[in-house]
Amino acid sequence: MDMDKINEYIQIAIDKAVFFLPKILLAILILWIGFKVAKKLVHWVNLALEKAGFSETLRPFLSSTLSVILKGVVLFTIAMVIGADLTGLVAILAAAGFAVGMALQGSLGNFASGILILTFKPYKIGDWIQLEDKFGRVEEIGIFSTDVLTPGNKILIIPNSKVTDSVVTNYSEKGMIRLELEVTMPYAESFPKVKIIILDTLSRIPKVLNDPLPEIGINTFDSHSIQLLVRPYVLPDDYWEVTFQTNEAIKSAFSTNEIKVAYSEGIEIGNIGE
């Protein structure tokens, strides 16, 4: 290789260095400053979210998402400064994003619903809720699903999109739950007498609340008996314990006061055992 060729290569290298070196230095400067600014912005946003009362589950996620977006903007800016052709990359990312979005549309729906739940807080961990026919205590609220512990000690993993698309009853919002208990009495019995017996029985159950007072009334009439509704108020965590105690106590009180019951098969009146 002759000297002219070597000199030509050296000149090309010098020209390239003169052309790209300022851009590379500028890119390094943008990278350093951009990441510093991004880190500071994420810190400020995290503090603002904390002051606004956002949950501890949602804050790290939002901060991480913002950090990724800001760093992506910095890298995109650096690529433009260097002079890289991003047309093909943008088209590929757009197509990939569309394909992933179509494939994960169910998960994305759960994700969006999770953000809404964590932001607006229709319930929190420890609340007793009912979603359609599912009842239990909230154990965990995630981005994609909510875990509910049923009275039968089973964990229900409910997709968040199902929560936002349905009516959710939060029994813990007011700090108490009203039980809905059904009791039967024969037509021949006096309702005021039975009502007094039930009220007296409820007053002896420690975890039945006195404010508001229990409600007792006639619900329906069937062919053999009168259906009563007994509605005492309890704390959410006492729901099942008081339900069982109340049913047991009412049965015992009916037996003590010789309240008869009509059996569903036939019209014979029978006593209630102990």
CATH number, domain of 202, equals 3.30.70.100
Q: Rounded to 5 degrees, what angle do the CA atoms 41, 46, 47 make?
A: 100
Phi, psi of 127 (to 5 degrees): -75, 145
- ∠ CA 262-264-269, nearest 5°, is 25
Question: Which tokens sit at 234?
Answer: 């309890």
Mean pLDDT of 163-169: 86
Residue 274 above 70 pLDDT? Answer: no
Per-residue pLDDT at 7: 62
pLDDT beyond 50 at 221: yes
Residues 138 and 76 in one domain: no
Q: Where do we find the tokens 């549309």?
A: 105
Task: Specify whether 191 is located in the same domain as 144.
Answer: no
**Residue % of the chain over a pLDDT of 70:** 75
Task: Tell whether the model's pLDDT for residue 161 goes beyond 60.
Answer: yes
- Taking residues 119-125, what's their average pLDDT? 83
Res. 40: pLDDT tops 80: yes
Q: Are 263 and 186 in contact (CB under 8 A)?
A: no
Confidence of residue 273 (pLDDT cuts 50, 70, 90): very low
Predicted local confidence at residue 120, as pLDDT: 78
pLDDT score of 108 more than 50: yes
If asked whether residues 166 and 181 sit together in one domain, one would say: no
| Average pLDDT of the segment spanning 42-56 | 77
Domain count, the chain: 3
> 34 is in which domain, residue-wise?
3-84
Can you tell me whether residue 104 is helix, strand or coil? coil
pLDDT value at 29 more than 70: yes
